[in-house]
Structure 1
Amino acid sequence: MIWVVCGFSAVLVLVVAILATKLHQRSRQLTYIHDKVASILNEGSYERVLLFSSDPQIRQILTDVNLLLDHAHRTGARYANQEKEIRHMLSNISHDLKTPLTVVLGYSETLLHRTELTEAERAAMTAKLHDKTQEVLRLILSFFNLAKLESGDVELTMDRVNASELCRLKVLSFYELLTNLEIQVELSIPDEDVFVRANEEALERVLDNLVTNAMKYGADGKVLGLSVDKQENGTVVISVRDQGRGIPEREHDHVFERMYTLEDSRNRLYQGSGLGLTITKRLVERMGGSIGLHSVPYEETVFSVCLQGG
């Protein structure tokens, strides 16, 4: 009997010793995880917590901690990129507003102080003053609209929109400008009505931006194409194309960024706010769609908007 009790006691002591060892090991591992995470956060490094453990719960904690660190690093990278974009945008806003405002100031001072100007000269300056003021207003509205879109303040009511009819009307609204630029229009729109699930006002603005962009940057190709294609999976693709100078492949990932413009677009012939395509992308995404780009300079540049069929 004594031997049985002694044996049981020995086993119990061994179990307690094993549990104590495991608890001590787990305590050291948890302390290491805590210290390592604190070090990573304090130093802002991109390290991960690496620890070999046979404890499944510790392994799960390590997996969760590293997932959180990945998320924190991605969030930090996005924030840093947004800060960089905002600084770049503010710089470009200052540049884009400074030019027309300087002209406005110059003409207004001339009109105020030069009494010898003829009525014709005054009328010409007043017209230019009006044009530059309108330019400033358009820039400010672009900044304001993008801010509203990105803050989620714009509510888009989704309806069944006749995409084919809207595209025809859009081409007609640009007919005079296209004729003056001697641009040939190539339409590929089905005879039957093609409907999409969208907000009509937002889709009209998307078409405005894409057609304007094609005329602004692709006018030298003398061709503007607009097509509506219904896909077998029920989606509808609306494409606007031109045969102008196009967009280099290295720039494709940046065309939808805030304030993006081609390097030579500071020439006033091509000048824009750099927000048109950004606003276009945001509107398409808010309607549950996507937008893509394919460009081969002086062959074909195509912006394709994909929306759910209605």
Structure 2
Amino acid sequence: MNFLLWSIIGLLLVVNGLQYFARRNQNRNLHYMATKLSRIMDEATSEQLMVMTDDRHLRTLLSAINELLAYKLQTEAEFAKTELAMRRMLANISHDLKTPLTVVLGYMETLLRHPNLSHEEREKLLTKVHTKAGEVVDLMNRFFDLAKLESGDKELPLTRVDMNEICRNNMLMFYDSLESQGLEAVIDIPDKPVYAWGNEEALDRAIGNLLSNAIRYGKDGKAVGMTLRSDERDVYIDVWDRGKGISEREQELIFERMYTLEDSRNKAFQGSGLGLTITKRLVEQLEGDIRVRSKPYEQTLFTIRLRRLS
């Protein structure tokens, strides 16, 4: 009987001892984790918490903390990227506003200082003032359009649209520009009707932007083209040119908010880098996507993909 009692007491002492050492080890690990985490936060490093332990609960806690640290780093990187883009945007918009406004002020000063200008000269200057003021208004309208698109305030009603008609109409709208610059129009639009889930106004603007871009910066290639194609699920609108193209590095950045290409190709839409972003946002609201592929002086291809309807 005494042997059994002492055996139980001994077992309890062993269990208590194991629990004591386990708690002490756990407390030591927790203290290390708290100290390490505090240092990571203070120094803003990219380190993670690493503790060798068999404690399942402690491993779960470590995993959760490291996920939060990774999320924090990602959020900070995205914030820094957005902040840089906003600074670039403000600099570009300031420049784009300053240029036409400076010209307008110059014209107005000429009108004020030379009251004896002929009627023809005054009309010529006033026409230039009107044109430059229109550029400022257009810039501001595009800026507010992007703000509405990104805030979700501007809703686009989606319906079944005739893609053949939309593509033909857009090519027709730019026919005079193509002809005046000596560009060949290469059109591949099937006779069989192709329908997609979209919005006619948004598609006109997106496709028109791409055609305008191709004409302005693809004229060295002497040709601008549009292809309408489809498969069982999707509809594709290809707009291409054979101009100087877009570098591979910038193909990854071209649709980012407020990004402006170094060779100013994006300024076909707007100098502040709003145009391609607006085009992408419009296509995304149509539940589609847009991509670019470019080989200098061979083909620069923008492709809009939309959901096909029967």
User: Which range, TM-score by smaller chain?
Assistant: over 0.9
1:252 corresponding residue in structure 2 = 251
Q: Quick check: 1:100 aligned with 2:100?
A: yes
- Identity of counterpart residues, as a percentage? 45
**Is the CA contact 1:210–1:303 (under 8 Å) kept in the aligned structure 2?**
yes
**Is the CA contact 1:216–1:270 (under 8 Å) kept in the aligned structure 2?**
no
Task: Work out the CA distance in 2 between the residues paired with 1:264 and 1:14.
Answer: 76
Task: Work out the CA distance in 1 between the residues paired with 2:27 and 2:196.
Answer: 60
**Length, aligned pairs only:** 308
**Is the CA contact 2:212–2:268 (under 8 Å) kept in the aligned structure 1?**
no
- Please identify, of 82-91 and 175-184, the stretch whose mean Cα deviation from structure 2 is larger: 175-184
**Is the CA contact 2:241–2:299 (under 8 Å) kept in the aligned structure 1?**
yes
Task: Work out the CA distance in 2 between the residues paired with 1:26 and 1:199.
Answer: 61
Task: Work out the CA distance in 2 between the residues paired with 1:265 and 1:80.
Answer: 24
**Is the CA contact 1:142–1:273 (under 8 Å) kept in the aligned structure 2?**
no
Q: Quick check: 1:279 aligned with 2:278?
A: yes
**Is the CA contact 2:158–2:198 (under 8 Å) kept in the aligned structure 1?**
yes
- Give the counterpart letter for 1:77 in structure 2: A
- Give the counterpart letter for 1:138 in structure 2: D
Task: Work out the CA distance in 1 between the residues paired with 2:43 and 2:284.
Answer: 37
Q: Quick check: 1:54 aligned with 2:36?
A: no
Question: Which structure 2 residue ranges, 5 or more long, are not aligned?
Answer: none
Deviation string 1:146-200 (CA, Å, 9 cap, x unpaired) is: 1222222222222212122111111111222222122211111111111111222
Task: Work out the CA distance in 2 between the residues paired with 1:270 and 1:207.
Answer: 12
2:155 corresponding residue in structure 1 = 155
Q: Quick check: 1:306 aligned with 2:299?
A: no
- Please identify, of 143-152 and 92-101, the stretch whose mean Cα deviation from structure 2 is larger: 143-152
1:93–1:225 distance in 2 versus 1, CA, 3 Å:
same
For the residue of structure 1 that corresponds to 2:235, the secondary structure is strand
Task: Work out the CA distance in 2 between the residues paired with 1:79 and 1:36.
Answer: 25
- Please identify, of 42-51 and 22-31, the stretch whose mean Cα deviation from structure 2 is larger: 22-31
Q: Quick check: 1:236 aligned with 2:235?
A: yes
Aligned-residue offset at 1:265: 3.1
Aligned-residue offset at 1:288: 2.0
- Give the counterpart letter for 2:222 in structure 1: K
- Please identify, of 291-300 and 31-40, the stretch whose mean Cα deviation from structure 2 is larger: 31-40
2:188 corresponding residue in structure 1 = 188
If the length of structure 1 is used for normalisation, what is the TM-score?
Answer: 0.94
- Please identify, of 79-88 and 155-164, the stretch whose mean Cα deviation from structure 2 is larger: 155-164
Task: Work out the CA distance in 1 between the residues paired with 2:222 and 2:125.
Answer: 33
Aligned-residue offset at 1:263: 3.1
1:41 corresponding residue in structure 2 = 41
- Give the counterpart letter for 2:81 in structure 1: N
- Give the counterpart letter for 1:87 in structure 2: R
Task: Work out the CA distance in 1 between the residues paired with 2:157 and 2:39.
Answer: 48
Aligned-residue offset at 1:113: 2.5
Task: Work out the CA distance in 2 between the residues paired with 1:230 and 1:214.
Answer: 22
1:166 corresponding residue in structure 2 = 166
**Is the CA contact 2:89–2:272 (under 8 Å) kept in the aligned structure 1?**
no
- Give the counterpart letter for 2:119 in structure 1: E
1:31–1:97 distance in 2 versus 1, CA, 3 Å:
same
Task: Work out the CA distance in 2 between the residues paired with 1:65 and 1:235.
Answer: 42
For the residue of structure 2 that corresponds to 1:116, the secondary structure is coil
Pairing 1:138-153 to 2, within 5 Å after superposition: 138-153=138-153
Task: Work out the CA distance in 1 between the residues paired with 2:302 and 2:154.
Answer: 24
Task: Work out the CA distance in 2 between the residues paired with 1:135 and 1:123.
Answer: 19
1:272–1:216 distance in 2 versus 1, CA, 3 Å:
farther
**Is the CA contact 2:86–2:258 (under 8 Å) kept in the aligned structure 1?**
no
- Give the counterpart letter for 1:249 in structure 2: E
Task: Work out the CA distance in 1 between the residues paired with 2:45 and 2:7.
Answer: 53
Aligned-residue offset at 1:9: 0.9
Deviation string 1:15-65 (CA, Å, 9 cap, x unpaired) is: 111112212222222222222222211211100001111011111111111
1:295 corresponding residue in structure 2 = 294
1:269–1:38 distance in 2 versus 1, CA, 3 Å:
closer
**Is the CA contact 2:213–2:268 (under 8 Å) kept in the aligned structure 1?**
no
Aligned-residue offset at 1:282: 1.6
